[in-house]
Structure 1
């Protein structure tokens, strides 16, 4: 999933792992697709759009 969102450090990596344990990959990919702008979205924006 790191290829879909910005992961800058170990904390981001741990947050992404936690997110993947609680939300399936399809939901994360869908949230990423709904983000506007160029490039990968920040992980915090994806988490907010998922309500976590």
Structure 2
């Protein structure tokens, strides 16, 4: 069973409200539309940001 997209939005919005101005600036630079990926060696997950070769899920 997959983690519902609505809960992903809730987590992102909750985190955004707790970010400092600097953190929000960084988030705006790395965020992407969440997309469900299957990462090698892991189950399916929601990818929410990319920072160079680093995947934030």
- Superposed pair shares fold, TM > 0.5: no
TM normalised by structure 1 equals 0.37
More strand by share: 2
Which has the bigger relative contact order, CA under 8 A and spacing at least 6? Answer: 1
TM normalised by structure 2 equals 0.35
